[in-house]
């Protein structure tokens, strides 16, 4: 049997391609079923948060509650409060401070009667989040119910996501040596509780919302109020909606 | 046939090596990537269960009100009706599960009330605020205001 070089190459090419195809098919056959979470259907929820800065009193309850609930190391924040001070017309240059993330409240600093207000911040659980797009190992991801999470077992600690987040919501956890951030209290909301920060907020400045639940009051709220997300120009499709947000807020 | 094999021997070696490499790659890949990876997206589905296994520290006000309905009734009539119990009393899931295992301490009103009600320019104007140093001349807040229903005489 004679075989040209071309035929030989074609044959070996087919052999290699078919082997990998068979292996991929075999993978598919072997893949089993994931453990279904009892009483919780991920496909029926799409979590979001509504924040009303006009209700925030800067007490720091949310920051402390988050720290307690999620064992956040001291000096790091999954949620924090910023104090904005806007001097008359200069909206481009607001004075912003956040002493210890607002954990211990805000000592009085301004006495001039200018525009001063609090803005609670946290992970925006973006539908198109830059952090999940840059993760090289699939350690950060968005769940089918719309929560951006980190798999600490897969995270290498490369910190790429920390740089990618336009909102500065991520930090490097020195205890676990992985990236860390708000989980939207995934362990709570999947069993019917609200987040720790919402539970502890004394003024309902923040409220957990489920955009897929037609009975959730968020639908009426979004229809009847002016809302804004942070940095809409980043096209992240953030899901933390701020009511009547001042233009100086970044 | 013998001649043929001899003539392509150099190719066969390369192909065999390549095939071994590919098979080795696939075997290793199968071993290191969990079978379920990619089920819901580019991540490990088991991570969801691991994150959900995190213990709850704040029981939620429904859990509190199941036993302390008397306090809840008083609170529901006052200005603090919308406050969660644990906003002031702290995280008490352990107490809700087994009341004897953790007996909560009553918060010190001198610290607790000021956290929210100390006057600050950044607070919303409609929110009731006082300068605590001037307001009560050193008396504890709960001398006049009962925290569950803070109006005087409440």
A188: left (phi over 0), alpha (psi -120 to 50) or beta: alpha
Same domain for A66 and A143, yes or no, is no
Q: Which domain holds residue A224?
A: 43-127+183-243
Structural Rg of chain B based on CA atoms: 33
Cβ A105–B118 below 8 Å, yes or no?
yes
Nearest CA in chain B to A31: B35
- The answer to whether residue B91 sits within a structural domain is yes
- The answer to whether residue A104 sits within a structural domain is yes
Average pLDDT estimate for A47-76: 97
Cβ B44–A203 below 8 Å, yes or no?
no
pLDDT of residue A98: 97
- List the single range of A8-12, A55-59, B117-121 with lowest mean pLDDT: A8-12
Average pLDDT estimate for A67-83: 97
Residue that terminates a domain, selected from A157, A180, A203:
A180
Average pLDDT estimate for A29-41: 58
B28-46 exposure pattern, b = at least 16 Cβ within 10 A, e = fewer: eeeeeeeebbebbeebbbb
- List the single range of A31-45, A89-103, A112-126 with lowest mean pLDDT: A31-45
- The answer to whether residue A89 sits within a structural domain is yes
- List the single range of A14-28, A49-63, A75-89, A157-171 with lowest mean pLDDT: A14-28
pLDDT of residue A29: 52
- The answer to whether residue A49 sits within a structural domain is yes
Proportion of chain A in helix, strand, coil states, percent, rounded to 5:
30, 20, 50
Residues of B in contact with A42 (CB under 8 A): 40
Average pLDDT estimate for A202-217: 96
CB B90, CB B57: distance < 8 Å: no
Closest CA–CA distance from residue A180 to any residue of chain B (Å): 12
Same domain for B27 and B67, yes or no, is no
Same domain for B41 and B113, yes or no, is no
Q: Find how far residue B10's CA is from the centre of its chain.
A: 63
Whole-number average pLDDT of chain A: 91
pLDDT of residue B5: 78
pLDDT digits (tens, 9 = 90+) for B94-114: 999 999 999 999 999 888 999
| Nearest to A207, CA basis, from A217, B63, A215, A42 | A217
- The answer to whether residue B148 sits within a structural domain is no
pLDDT digits (tens, 9 = 90+) for B46-81: 999 999 999 999 999 999 999 999 999 999 999 999
Same domain for A152 and A54, yes or no, is no
Q: Which two tokens stand for residue A88?
A: 């008359």
Same domain for A123 and A222, yes or no, is yes
Nearest CA in chain A to B46: A34
Residues of A in contact with B18 (CB under 8 A): 12, 16
Among candidates B30, B41, B49 on the partner chain, residue whose Cβ is nearest the Cβ of A142: B41
| Nearest to B86, CA basis, from B97, B99, B96, B77 | B96
Q: Which residue has the tokens 């089918």?
A: A144
Cβ B43–A138 below 8 Å, yes or no?
yes
pLDDT of residue A31: 47
Q: Per the structure, how many domains does chain B have?
A: 2
Closest CA–CA distance from residue B113 to any residue of chain A (Å): 10
Among candidates A19, A20, A153 on the partner chain, residue whose Cβ is nearest the Cβ of B47: A153
Cβ B56–A34 below 8 Å, yes or no?
no
Residues of B in contact with A191 (CB under 8 A): 52, 56
ipTM of the modeled complex? 0.86
Same domain for A76 and A163, yes or no, is no
Cβ A31–B1 below 8 Å, yes or no?
no
Average pLDDT estimate for A21-37: 53
CA-CA distance, A97 to A23, in Å (whole number)?
Answer: 56
* Banded pLDDT at B125 (limits 50, 70, 90): very high
CB A131, CB B30: distance < 8 Å: no
Q: Which two tokens stand for residue A185?
A: 């209290």
* Banded pLDDT at A60 (limits 50, 70, 90): very high
CA-CA distance, B55 to B58, in Å (whole number)?
Answer: 9
Q: Which residue has the tokens 């209290």?
A: A185
Cβ B120–A2 below 8 Å, yes or no?
no
Same domain for A176 and A202, yes or no, is no
CA A156-A159-A162 angle, 5° bins: 135
- CATH label of the domain that carries residue A50: 3.30.70.20
CA B128-A56-A132 angle, 5° bins: 170
Same domain for B22 and B72, yes or no, is no
Closest CA–CA distance from residue A241 to any residue of chain B (Å): 19
CB A209, CB A222: distance < 8 Å: no
CB A187, CB A176: distance < 8 Å: no
Same domain for B65 and B122, yes or no, is yes
- The answer to whether residue A52 sits within a structural domain is yes
* DSSP per position, chain B: -HHHHHHTHHHHHHHHHHHHHHHHHHHHHHHHS-TTTTSSSSS-THHHHHHHTSPP----HHHHHHH-HHHHHHHHTSTTTTS-HHHHH---HHHHH-TTT--PPPP-HHHHHHHHHB--TTS-TTS--B-HHHHSTT--GGGT-BTTB-STT-
Cβ B11–A23 below 8 Å, yes or no?
no
* Banded pLDDT at B138 (limits 50, 70, 90): confident
Cβ B30–A117 below 8 Å, yes or no?
no
Give the strand pairing for A240-243 and A227-228: antiparallel
Residues paired with residue A228 on neighbouring β-strands, in sequence order:
A242
- The answer to whether residue B154 sits within a structural domain is no
Residues of B in contact with A35 (CB under 8 A): 46, 49
* Banded pLDDT at A196 (limits 50, 70, 90): very high
Residues of B in contact with A152 (CB under 8 A): 47
Same domain for A66 and A101, yes or no, is yes
Sequence-ordered list of residues with C-beta below 8 angstroms from that of A249, at least 6 positions apart, any chain: A53, A84, A94, A119, A230, A242
Q: Which domain holds residue B47?
A: 2-52
Average pLDDT estimate for A202-229: 96
pLDDT of residue B9: 87
Whole-number average pLDDT of chain B: 92
A206-210, strands of its sheet edge to edge: A206-210, A47-51, A240-243, A227-228
């Amino acid at each position: 049997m004679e075989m040209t070089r071309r035929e030989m190459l074609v044959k070996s090419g087919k052999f290699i391609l078919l082997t990998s195809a068979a292996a991929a098919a075999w993978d598919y056959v072997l893949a089993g079923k994931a453990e279904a979470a009892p009483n919780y259907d991920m496909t029926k929820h799409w979590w979001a948060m509504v924040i009303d800065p006009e209700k925030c009193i800067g007490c720091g309850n949310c920051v402390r509650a988050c720290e307690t609930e999620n064992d956040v190391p001291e000096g790091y924040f999954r949620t924090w409060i910023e104090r904005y001070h806007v001097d008359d017309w200069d909206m481009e240059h607001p004075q912003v401070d956040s002493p210890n993330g607002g954990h211990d409240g805000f000592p009085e600093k301004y006495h001039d009667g200018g525009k001063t207000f609090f803005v609670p911040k946290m992970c925006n659980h973006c539908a198109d989040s830059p952090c999940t797009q840059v993760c090289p190992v699939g350690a950060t991801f968005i769940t089918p119910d719309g929560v951006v999470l980190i798999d600490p077992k897969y995270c290498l600690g490369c910190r790429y996501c920390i740089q990618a987040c336009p909102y500065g919501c991520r930090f490097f956890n020195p205890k676990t040596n992985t990236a860390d951030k708000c989980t939207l209290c995934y362990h709570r909301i999947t069993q019917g509780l609200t987040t720790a920060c919402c539970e502890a907020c004394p003024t309902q400045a923040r409220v957990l919302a489920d955009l897929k639940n037609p009975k959730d009051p968020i639908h009426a709220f979004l229809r009847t109020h002016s809302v804004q997300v942070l940095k809409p120009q980043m096209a992240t499709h953030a899901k933390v909606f701020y009511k009547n947000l001042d233009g100086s807020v970044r | 046939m013998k001649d043929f094999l001899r003539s392509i021997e150099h190719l066969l070696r390369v192909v065999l090596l390549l095939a071994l490499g590919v098979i080795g790659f696939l075997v290793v890949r199968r071993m290191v990537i969990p079978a379920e990876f990619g089920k819901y997206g580019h991540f490990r589905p088991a991570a969801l269960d691991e994150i959900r296994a995190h213990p709850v520290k704040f029981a939620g006000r429904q859990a509190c009100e199941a036993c302390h309905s008397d306090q809840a009734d008083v609170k529901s009539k006052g200005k603090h009706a919308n406050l969660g119990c644990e906003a002031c009393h702290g995280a008490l899931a352990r107490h809700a599960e087994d009341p004897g295992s953790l007996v909560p301490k009553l918060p010190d009103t001198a610290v607790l009330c000021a956290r929210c009600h100390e006057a600050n320019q950044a607070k919303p104007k409609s929110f009731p605020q006082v300068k605590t140093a001037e307001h009560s001349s050193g008396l504890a807040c709960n001398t006049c205001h009962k925290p569950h229903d803070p109006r005087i005489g409440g």
